[in-house]
Amino acid sequence: MDPELEEIREEFVAEALEQLATVEDDVLALERGGDAVDPDVVNHLFRAIHTIKGGAGFLTMEEVTKLSHELENIVDRIRSHQVIPTGEVCEVLLHGLDLLRQLLSQPANDTPFDVKPMLEALATVCPAADTPAAVLPAAEKAAPKDTAAEPDSPEQQATAEDAQKTAEQRPVKQPQTAQIPITAPVDKTNGAAPAAAGMDHTAPQRLRVSVTQLDNLMNLVSELVLVRNQNTQATDAKDLSKLLAIGQRLNMVTSDLQTSIMQMRLQPVRSVFSRFTRVARDLARQLGKEVDLQLIGSEVELDKNLIEAIGNPLTHLIRNAVDHGIEDPDKREASGKRRCGTIWLRAMHQAGQVKIQIQDDGKGIDAETIKQVAIGKGILTAHQAENMTEAEAYGLVFRPGFSSAEQVTNVSGRGVGMDVVKSTFQRLGGVVDISSCISIGTTITITLPLTLAIVATLIVEVEQCCFALSQSSVAEVVWLHSADCYQKIEQVNDQEVFWLRDRFLPIVRLSKVLKVDKTFIHPDTGQVLPDRRQQRGDRRLRGPRVDQPEVHAKSVDRQDSVDRGGPGDRRGTPERRGPVDRRQSLANSFFIVVLKLGSERFGLLVDRIIDTEEIVVKALHQQLELCQAYSGTTILGDGRVALILDIPAIAKLAKIDHTNLERELLNQGMNSAERNHPVLLFDLGGPELFAVPLFLLERVERVATSEIQMVDGREYITLDDVVLPLVRTEQALSMSQSSYSSDEIFVIVPRYHHPIGLVAANILDTVEIESTLDSTTISRPGIMGSALIAGKLALFIDIFAAIQTVENSWFGNTNNGTQKRALVLEDSVFYASLIRSYLRGAGTEVVWQQNGEEGLVALDNEAFDFVISDLEMPVMNGFQFAQSVRKNDKFRELPMLAISSIEHTSVAKRARQAGFNGFYSKLDRNGMLSALGEMIAQPKVSMVWEDS
Amino acid sequence: MAMLQLVTFQLGKAHYGLDIHFIKEVNPQPAMTAVPLSSDEICGLVNIRGQVALVVDMAVVMGFPPVKQSVTHQVIILKVASELRAIREIDIERPELFGDKPMGFLVNNVGDVLTLDSSELEPPPPHLNKEQINLYRGVARLERQVLQGTRLEQIVLQVLNPEAIVQWCHRASNTLAETAKKKAMTL
């Protein structure tokens, strides 16, 4: 055997033995469980054996392959409930595992033990074609007494004897395995088991270090000693300036020391990568394929622990790529590809992390096929599959028990492997991503931290307790302060959600998950008191203001019950309250740390962000592992101990259910679009406050009055080489009050079909308002309606209408016979005004109705070029409306566009089924407006579906 | 006759002794980091020169309500398994119980180190239940000024069995985990 292979073999054996050490418990657990097979246990057992089989297959350890294949078969059938793990079955399994261990520990060149008797024993206990019904009587015949208590049934004895012939060590080992079922449960309760388990893993590990590195380290250490000596001297002399210099030197020496130690732990990935050339070649040959494996970035360095741990999962991925990814040479040729398939294995540094990528140019993964297989295997319901995106479908391959290969072969297709791959990388703090394109190939990307020992973290604080969060899972941090703390977080059933840029984010209060008592510091007395507020709806200081804080607290509890329920509460604009109101004070703030958890996100609500810190991870005490919330401990810069939060565990503790939440939001029709609208506030120098929805605007510019040019009695300015005619807002609204500064004005440029500028005197602010627009109180041309913003009445300008009134006076009415007519169905006044104003801006005549029924009447009476309809409306919703419309032959070709604030593929699908030509989310305001634009330009063009 | 060297401390009014061989150091008022969600007897974590030690409230172990850390409280840090294995003077049956990460006990008024002859030990008081009896090696009646500031009086020094106490802690957190699991299952 060549030395390269020998090295691989050694590694494999070490790993396999380690794995075997962990599966014995699984078998015993299966035995204890009897009929009720725990899927986790059986999966773990199956994976371990499968991994060994895979490795052995590659190393041509025939006996091991055969034996593990048989063992795997039995476990597979236990998994599918075809075989019940009786005492007898488990006994044979255990013996099989023992034999496997012996085979593995054998020196490579020894004659392997004969596995035949064991194979026979395995076949007897679990005949290949037999149903469980047939197995059971046989087992009972063989072991009439309780098999677990009486392991010496005749058949088992035969098995044991068979095995004995094959191994001399056998008698020593066998009694141990027989004892374990009785002793293990006892051990666990008195705490000895973990300690014993810990001792199993004390195999000595060595690392080869170059002498240069060691010398360098020695050098640094002697430097450190020197610094210490100087420090002692300087301290004795109380020489502050010298101490400062020493501090600086210490700083440098420590960082140098840290880098060199870390450097020692790093190894090039070449040591793992190089073995794959052979893995790929051998497997390709076996399968009659041609594969070229390209290694790129072998020099990239990774921590030794990681290098060792990624070997097995990467082997799986490479084998998968060869087996499932690359097609047969003939097939490849037929589809115009090179006969020889290529697999690229890349390693690269990216943003302080290491990326490993396996890319093949094979047939790719068909998301539909995956879904079908998943449905067939009962992993997925047909309904779930329908709503699944491609990315989610690819994720299915990582589920236990999934395999799309039609044939279960010795190579792969057992449906294990991928889930092992994922869990292994996750344990290492890595992330696995999969992307694919049919007939082009599949790319699997693994992102790993550089090292496990030092982690970049974000230190957060909750109630004076510090916790560390791994930065690799932090997406961003949101700071909420004063009133926002209570107004921006909504309640959906039991779950709090936060609208982060139009997407909902489930909120987990760290204090709640960890059951830490909430407190607040009273602004006047400085006392720490328990905080009784439960949620944002608690407005403790509502109602008539009384200056006695105690009275407040009491009157509030009564007020709460009134406040919480009513939907009207949500719509109220913030009222200015006195300094007594804690909610309004700047000191009242918290942070939402947005955490990535696979493809999902959630927000962790904490009191304070302390800092980012690179920490040295220390293992958790065994007693604390049981809390299932922490992944380790660390010592912070100030010497305090901090716990490292285990993010998946926290999510689990908080019981976030994204799917359920989404459904709930759908049901309640809650959505951000009808909630927060950013608007621009400005004035014309007069007392009136004006508002324009921000997303209707392209830009806002401050312009010196000297730049305004007068041509033919009209004003123009030039912005970025574009000449804009200016519209004086007061003119457009036929208002007289305005006083502009003599130096400068502001030009508001809306999204319009030609460049134009609206003039404002002062830009005041951008605020978010809730979409309750009062269109009755103030009504005049060019005004959409009014709303209270921070206690002041603001006028919403119908910007396009306003511009048009001015333009009409300039150019005369441009309306002629070609004007398009649109029917708009929308129950929200705000949105209706918005769409109307936009459509009118584009020269379309608009008829607005509030629900489907009114819409049908309008369609009967008038002719329209196209219809734009909301989906959620009272009386008759958009779906019903579209269905009724399409029933009428006259309207078969009528272009209809659905808009909705619910952004979900299922909604888009339903809309299409109902008969709409297109669907746009209100959340995607720009997309929606441009879709409207297209509709106006060419109403007959079939719309592109946006639901992919 | 084997001599016992005991570090003494108090919980409430009761006096306790712990074999000095198991003790690494006594640390007055280290900065404690609380561990939410942990079982009752766990006070928190402290930094012992770069090592993280888990501190257990001795009062809870002995069946008293948990105490709040105060000025008179100190943390007795136990040796870890490898340090205990190196001890030749006494036989330690199961050093592995002490693990590789240090553990400590929050106690009150750590006092003198006493030397006793192990023949002076009497069996623990009979009113204790089976589980509690395990935690004691025995009691010693001392008629002298054991601790500074106390009058000459008869003192019952309860000599603890460190191994049994550590085992108790393991079991306590295991029970917590199991109840949590059961709760999760029923949900």
What are the pLDDT digits (tens) for A728-747? 877 777 776 667 777 888 88
CB A309 within 8 A of CB A330: no
- B36 DSSP assignment: T
CB A174 within 8 A of CB A157: no
Question: What CA–CA distances, in Å, run from A158 to A28, A161, A285?
Answer: 21, 5, 41
Sort out which chain A residues have CB atoms less than 8 A from B80's CB and list them: none
- Burial code (b: 16+ CB inside 10 Å, e: under 16) for A754-788 equals eebbbbbbeebeebebbbbbebeeeeeebbbbbbe
Q: Does A186 touch chain B (CB under 8 A)?
A: no
| Cross-chain CB nearest to B167 (options A191, A466, A514) | A191
CB A873 within 8 A of CB A826: yes
Q: Which of A711, A662, A692 is nearest to A841 (CA)?
A: A692
Average pLDDT over every residue of A467-485: 82
Whole-number Å distance between alpha carbons of A799 and A784: 9
The mean pLDDT of chain A is 72
Q: What six digits make up the tokens of A782?
A: 């060019």
Question: From the centroid of its chain, how far is CA A131?
Answer: 43
Average pLDDT over every residue of A12-17: 79
Contact A623 B54 (CB under 8 A): yes
ipTM score assigned to the predicted complex: 0.84
Question: From the centroid of its chain, how far is CA A941?
Answer: 37
Select, from the ranges A480-484, A550-554, A772-776, B119-123, the one with the highest average predicted confidence (pLDDT).
B119-123
Residue of chain B minimizing CA distance to A642: B33
| Cross-chain CB nearest to A643 (options B35, B176, B177) | B35
Average pLDDT over every residue of A455-462: 87
Q: What six digits make up the tokens of B148?
A: 């500074």
Question: In this model, does residue A941 exceed pLDDT 60?
Answer: no
Q: What six digits make up the tokens of A90?
A: 């488990």
Partners of residue A505 on adjacent β-strands: A498
Average pLDDT over every residue of B62-88: 81
Question: In this model, does residue A887 exceed pLDDT 80?
Answer: yes
Q: What six digits make up the tokens of B30?
A: 């280290």
Question: In this model, does residue B21 exceed pLDDT 50?
Answer: yes
Compute and round to an integer the Cα radius of gyration of chain B: 17
Contact A515 B46 (CB under 8 A): no
| Cross-chain CB nearest to A626 (options B44, B101, B174) | B174
Half-sphere exposure for A335 (CA within 13 Å, toward CB) = 15
- A202 DSSP assignment: -
Please state, as a whole number, how many other Cβ atoms lie within 10 Å of the Cβ of residue A329.
18
Question: In this model, does residue A946 exceed pLDDT 70?
Answer: no
Q: Does A515 touch chain B (CB under 8 A)?
A: yes
Whole-number Å distance between alpha carbons of A649 and A630: 8
Q: What six digits make up the tokens of A563?
A: 């406040």
Contact B50 A516 (CB under 8 A): no
Please state, as a whole number, how many other Cβ atoms lie within 10 Å of the Cβ of residue A245.
13
Sort out which chain B residues have CB atoms less than 8 A from A465's CB and list them: 33-34, 36
Contact A465 B167 (CB under 8 A): no
Sort out which chain A residues have CB atoms less than 8 A from B31's CB and list them: 639-641
Q: Does A252 touch chain B (CB under 8 A)?
A: no
Question: In this model, does residue B55 exceed pLDDT 70?
Answer: yes
CB A461 within 8 A of CB A314: no
Please state, as a whole number, how many other Cβ atoms lie within 10 Å of the Cβ of residue B84.
21
Whole-number Å distance between alpha carbons of A603 and A490: 13
CB A743 within 8 A of CB A704: yes
CB A624 within 8 A of CB B35: yes
Q: Coil, strand or helix: which one is B46?
A: strand
Q: Name the minimum distance, in Å, from the CA of B143 to any CA of chain A.
A: 37
Whole-number Å distance between alpha carbons of A227 and A402: 59
Q: Name the minimum distance, in Å, from the CA of A469 to any CA of chain B.
A: 15
Select, from the ranges A110-124, A204-218, A349-363, the one with the highest average predicted confidence (pLDDT).
A349-363
Measured over the CA atoms of residue A157, residue A158, residue A161 and residue A162, the dihedral's sign is negative
Average pLDDT over every residue of A658-670: 63
Chain A and chain B share a number of CB contacts under 8 A equal to 99
Q: What six digits make up the tokens of A378?
A: 């009962």
Q: Tell me: the pLDDT tens digits for A297-348?
A: 888 888 877 888 888 888 888 888 888 888 888 888 888 888 888 889 999 8
| Cross-chain CB nearest to A635 (options B50, B103, B174) | B50
- B122 DSSP assignment: B
Compute and round to an integer the Cα radius of gyration of chain A: 36
Pairing status of strand A641-645 against strand A465-470: parallel
CB A304 within 8 A of CB A265: yes
Question: What CA–CA distances, in Å, run from A336 to A288, A329, A332, A418, A439?
Answer: 19, 11, 6, 30, 10
Whole-number Å distance between alpha carbons of A726 and B155: 97
Whole-number Å distance between alpha carbons of B4 and A756: 95
DSSP E strand boundaries for A550-598: 589-597
Pairing status of strand A866-870 against strand A896-900: parallel
Sort out which chain B residues have CB atoms less than 8 A from A194's CB and list them: 170
Contact A516 B96 (CB under 8 A): no
pLDDT given for residue B96 in this prediction:
82
Q: Does B181 touch chain A (CB under 8 A)?
A: no
Contact A624 B99 (CB under 8 A): no
Q: Residue B12: exposed, middle, or buried by beta-carbon count in 10 A (0-12, 13-18, 19+)?
A: exposed
